[in-house]
């Protein structure tokens, strides 16, 4: 996920010889409200930790075509989906029923996205690069990936909004010990689900910039796995946290350990400065650098104190989308 902005995390996919279009996915006219989604599905507003534990499996299975589309020409017709008879687990003819159907899927992966997030979803397959034994830097080594991009994402940013899915064993083979250790660390973190994490949160694929803090930490389940999400900023230097570089990151693994989920979405909050120039104006750069650790702790606490719906987009919209992911390969 290459970013042109200085200091932003880059997923450089060097030597990618064969990027093929897998599917141009669908837009729908309905808007998915995360609370309404949970009420319509479970009869009550529940925490995502328990709400998504398998109840939507029948919905996803019913909506999944017999063979996943491989090009824009074979993508399903939204009108045909809207008139399909509801499955036995759905409530009859309700405003949320159509939205409960997965409206983005390709190559055995499906999820529900709210059109308030983006104008559409596009999927493509990115060929593997590497292995690390070819003397490539680790951030240039990647397994074969299913990449979902979100054109027209609600926040205008130089950071790409995307979900990436890749086979764990293939990445471990290509990336070696560092990738193996990161996968194992994430598995342990998802099993324990601590209230807070003082150290490093595993983060794959490997980028060429590092996360400088994290806030709004939350664990929850998706259809056949579990994940952690948080807000952060990637940098290679001592930089203030700004709205043009703040991102929602998700890291997850399927229950069988076979597939990894990695996502990044730009978000903004009114409590942060818009950009570097606004943030650094009137500040002594040397003093700022000397107090950087304390500054990051203050920003972490500041963002932890913000309500989910004070962010753009609301964190609930992103959480709900991640919770509906199903990987069936």
Nearest in space to 203 (alpha carbons), one of 5, 2, 10, 46:
10
Structure tokens at 174: 């290509």
Number of domains in the chain: 1
Residue 263 main-chain phi, psi, to 5 deg: -140, 150
28 pLDDT exceeds 60? Answer: no
- Summarize the confidence of residues 146-171 as an average pLDDT: 97
Specify the pLDDT at position 132: 81
For residues 238 and 255, what is the distance between their CA atoms, to the nearest angstrom? 38
Residue 9 belongs to a domain: no
**Which residue's structure tokens are 């808007």?**
31
Residue 25 belongs to a domain: yes
> What is the rounded average pLDDT for all residues in the chain?
77
For residues 239 and 210, what is the distance between their CA atoms, to the nearest angstrom? 12
Specify the pLDDT at position 100: 55
Domain hosting 111: range is 20-327
All residues at 6 or more sequence positions from 254 whose CB lies less than 8 Å from its CB, including other chains: 224, 225, 260, 261, 327
pLDDT band at 298 (very low <50, low <70, confident <90, very high): very high
Residue 154 main-chain phi, psi, to 5 deg: -60, -25
Sheet holding 326-327, edge to edge: 104-106, 109-111, 326-327
- Summarize the confidence of residues 266-273 as an average pLDDT: 98
For residues 182 and 69, what is the distance between their CA atoms, to the nearest angstrom? 32
- Summarize the confidence of residues 190-210 as an average pLDDT: 90
Is there a contact between 222 and 102 (Cβ–Cβ < 8 Å)? no
Specify the pLDDT at position 199: 82
CA distances from 200 to 102, 187, 232, 260 (A): 33, 14, 12, 18
For residues 268 and 270, what is the distance between their CA atoms, to the nearest angstrom? 7
Residue 205 belongs to a domain: yes
Peptide bond into 313 cis (omega under 30): yes
218 pLDDT exceeds 90? Answer: yes
Is there a contact between 223 and 325 (Cβ–Cβ < 8 Å)? yes
Specify the pLDDT at position 165: 98
3-class secondary structure for the chain? CCCCCCCCCCCCCCCCCCCEEEEECCCCCCCCCHHHHHHHHHCCCCCHHHHCCCCCHHHHHHHCCCCCCCCHHHCCCHHHHHCCCCCCCCCCCCCCHHHHCCCEEECCEEECCCCCCCCCCEEEEECCECCHHHCCCHHHCECCEEEEECCCCCCCCCCCCEEEEEEHHHHHHHHCHHHHHHHHHHHHHHHHCCCCCCCCCCCCCCCCCEECCCEEEEEEEECCEEEEEEEECEECCCCCCCCCCCEEEEEEEECCCCEEEEEEEECECCCCCCCHHHHHCCCCHHHHHHCHHHHHHHHHHHHHCCCHHHCECCHHHHHHHHHCCEECC
- Report pLDDT digits (tens) over 48-84: 333 333 333 333 333 343 333 333 323 333 333 332 3
Specify the pLDDT at position 101: 80
Residue 307 belongs to a domain: yes
pLDDT band at 190 (very low <50, low <70, confident <90, very high): very high
Specify the pLDDT at position 134: 84
Specify the pLDDT at position 3: 45
Specify the pLDDT at position 171: 96
Is there a contact between 147 and 166 (Cβ–Cβ < 8 Å)? no
Structure tokens at 168: 């764990």
Residue 186 belongs to a domain: yes
Residue 8 belongs to a domain: no
- Summarize the confidence of residues 307-328 as an average pLDDT: 96
Specify the pLDDT at position 60: 35
Residue 76 belongs to a domain: yes
19 pLDDT exceeds 90? Answer: no
Residue 10 belongs to a domain: no
- Which pTM does this prediction carry? 0.72
């Amino acid at each position: 996920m290459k970013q042109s902005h200085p200091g932003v995390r880059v997923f450089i996919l060097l030597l990618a010889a064969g990027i093929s279009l897998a599917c141009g996915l669908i837009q729908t006219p309905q808007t998915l409200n995360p609370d309404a989604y949970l009420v319509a599905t479970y009869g009550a507003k529940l925490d995502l930790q328990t709400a998504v534990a398998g109840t939507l499996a029948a919905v996803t299975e019913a909506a999944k075509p017999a063979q996943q589309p491989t090009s824009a020409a074979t993508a399903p017709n939204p009108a045909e989906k809207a008139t399909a008879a509801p499955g036995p687990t759905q409530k009859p003819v309700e405003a949320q029923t159509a939205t409960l159907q997965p409206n983005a899927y390709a190559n055995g992966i499906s999820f529900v996205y709210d059109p308030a997030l983006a104008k559409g979803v596009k999927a493509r397959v990115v060929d593997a690069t590497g292995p690390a034994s070819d003397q490539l830097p680790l951030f240039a080594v990647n397994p074969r990936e299913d990449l979902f991009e979100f054109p027209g994402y609600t926040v205008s940013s130089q950071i790409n909004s995307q979900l990436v899915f890749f086979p764990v064993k293939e990445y471990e083979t290509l990336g070696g010990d560092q990738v193996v250790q990161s996968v194992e660390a994430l598995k342990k973190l998802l099993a324990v689900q601590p209230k807070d994490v003082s150290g490093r949160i595993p983060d794959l694929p490997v980028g060429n910039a590092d996360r400088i803090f994290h806030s709004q930490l939350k664990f929850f389940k998706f259809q056949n796995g579990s994940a952690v999400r948080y807000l952060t900023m990637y940098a290679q230097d001592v930089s203030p946290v700004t709205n043009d570089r703040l991102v929602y990151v998700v890291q997850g693994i399927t229950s069988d350990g076979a597939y990894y989920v990695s996502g990044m979405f730009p978000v903004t909050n009114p409590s942060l400065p818009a950009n570097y120039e606004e943030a650094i104006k009137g500040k002594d750069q040397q003093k700022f650098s000397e107090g950087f650790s304390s500054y990051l702790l203050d920003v972490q606490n500041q963002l932890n104190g913000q309500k989910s719906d004070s962010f753009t987009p609301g964190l609930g919209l992103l959480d709900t989308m991640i919770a509906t992911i199903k990987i069936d390969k």
